[in-house]
Chain A
Amino acid sequence: MICNSCGKNKATIHVTELIEGKMVEVHLCEKCANEKDIANKVSFSLNDILAGLMQFTTQSDEMSKQLKMRCPGCNLSIQDLQKKGKVGCAQCYEVFAQFLLPLIQKIHGSAQHFGKRPSHVDEKLNIQIEIEKLEADLQKKIEAEAFEEAAIVRDKIKFLKKKVSTKKTTRKSKTSSESNDANKKE
């Protein structure tokens, strides 16, 4: 049997392929089967991104600005991402949110994460809540002219703020050279 794809080599691989939900017998040589394997890799579809872009045609000035914009994290433009069908870095999700969010909504039917979170994200959040509480407290103490107590609260806030800033950050991406130190265990 001759390969269905190149029509030259002997077909050694016989597969049942799914074409639009229907099963079709396909006979391939090893070389073509390997190529097919790679070619079939589906990344997110270009059309979907284009559909995302189309939503901005009404504001054409804004759109052309967006198209030229480069992500500060990876220096890629939305057109670069389209070519590869992949996002450049974590920051792209913020920078190109207008393009990516509609796409994400379309793929998943949602744009809000409900799953697990890295534990340090929660830790940081808790500290921030604590800081907000203390700041409100500080304000009250100043208004009541309880300056000695206020000073203690202020020190506490200072301490917590320092703690937050030295904690590993996930939200803000930094340049690679800086981030390596941040990635090491503290």
Chain B
Amino acid sequence: MTIDEMVDKTGEWLKGKGPSNDVVISSRVRLARNLAGFIFSDYMPKSMAEKLVGLVKNAVDNSNYLKKHTFFSDKDITLLDKEFFKERHLISGELVEAKRPHAVCFTDDEIVSIMINEEDHLRLQVLQSGFNLVEALRLIDVIDAELENNLDYAFSPTLGYLTACPTNVGTGLRASCMLHLPALVMTKQINKVLQALSKMSIAVRGLYGEGTQATGNFFQFSNQITLGRQEEQIVNDFEKIVKQVIEHEQEARIALSNKRLTKLADQIWRSLGILRSTRIISSGEANSLLSLVRLGCDLGLIKDLNKNKLNELFIVIQPAHLQKIYRTELPVDERDEKRASLIREKLKSVSL
């Protein structure tokens, strides 16, 4: 698959399907792996990094599960391409910035992605639509086992999989869920929820992972402990906590629509109104308004907008996507114009 072909489609995980998709956008499980006998990515000499990319490419090519994949080494892609991948959650900010030889490969449906020479030699991830960590874990386990046939992972019987950062050592497993929590924010309960979570070793981040802030009422939750428990246990414990947050959000939505429906409906329809008529809009403002529109869809107020299209909109209005879609480099203010016209175009058939 070429990058141009990707511009016109979205990953399977954005389909807005799966359990609890009113609150959970996506679920992700990632594994950190390193190869025995190789210095970790940050300290690795260039020739070693290149060799490693080759070894992993060979292992990926030999995998049955990853048959339909595309492999991009850093030499094949521009910085804009990488930003584009990042906006689709296929790679991290760290890989975008990486100066050493590195690579990424992902399946055509964008469910599986493998970063090579990120903080760890391998970062495998599986993305699922909705609240579906169990399936993500099942898939990543299969892929990990396949790759392991051809790769010699750094492993210690006491510490498990050895990673560049001791925070990932052991299972190397990070489970995360992207949640949309507008009602908890509106009812000002979110701080209480976040405080409670921080005591349970759950990290909270923004839309684009580590180091980013919450925007548009989107919060990414993930487990912090990777050692001392089995993979299933880690995922189950995390799942239970996320489930409680989902229930809180759902209750808050019911409370809002019982007590303040007219006011809420007013906010939602006004947001749609602005989005349908805007001529200049920043991605921050767009995210906030789209968040309310999404809530409007979930509450059944807005009926003729499907969730896949809406989820897609959050991605395609990001800077790198705009520049790919309009096939030109755009300075910030021109981006805000193009973003506005793209949103108007995508929402034109939604009735007010």
Binding site for B on A (CB under 8 A): 12-18, 21-23, 26, 30, 36-44, 73-74, 76, 84-90, 93-94, 100, 103-104, 107-121, 168-171, 173-176, 178-180, 182-185
Contacts and interface: CB of A to CB of B under 8 A. Distances in A.
B160 A113 contact: yes
A86 B39 contact: no
Nearest to B43: A88
Contact of A170 (B154, B204, B225): B154
Interface in B136-164: 141, 144-145, 148-164
Interface stretch (B74-82, B126-134, B167-175, B262-270): B167-175
Interface residues of B, number: 76
A85 B163 CA distance: 12
Given A21-B194, A114-B229, A41 B285 contact: no
Contact of B36 (A85, A111, A117, A173): A173
A116 B194 contact: no
A64 B288 CA distance: 55
Residue among A40, A94, A114, A121 with max Cβ neighbours from chain B (10 Å): A114
A104 B166 contact: yes
A27 to B, nearest CB: 9
B119 interface: yes
Contacts of A112: 158, 227-228
A115 B42 contact: no
A12 B93 contact: no
Contact of B190 (A23, A43, A100): A23
Interface stretch (B12-20, B211-219, B343-351): B211-219
Given A108-B228, A113-B170, A113-B227, A14 B284 contact: yes
B298 interface: no
A97 to B, nearest CB: 9
Contacts, number: 215
B229 to A, nearest CB: 6
Residue among B36, B51, B233 with max Cβ neighbours from chain A (10 Å): B36
A44 B198 CA distance: 17
Contact of B38 (A43, A84, A89, A120): A89
A168 B152 CA distance: 7
Contacts of B213: 15-18, 26
A175 B195 CA distance: 46
Contacts of A40: 210-212
A174 B190 CA distance: 50
Nearest to A21: B195
Interface string B103-116: 00000000000000
A144 B154 CA distance: 44
Contacts of B144: 116
B191 interface: yes
A125 B36 CA distance: 18
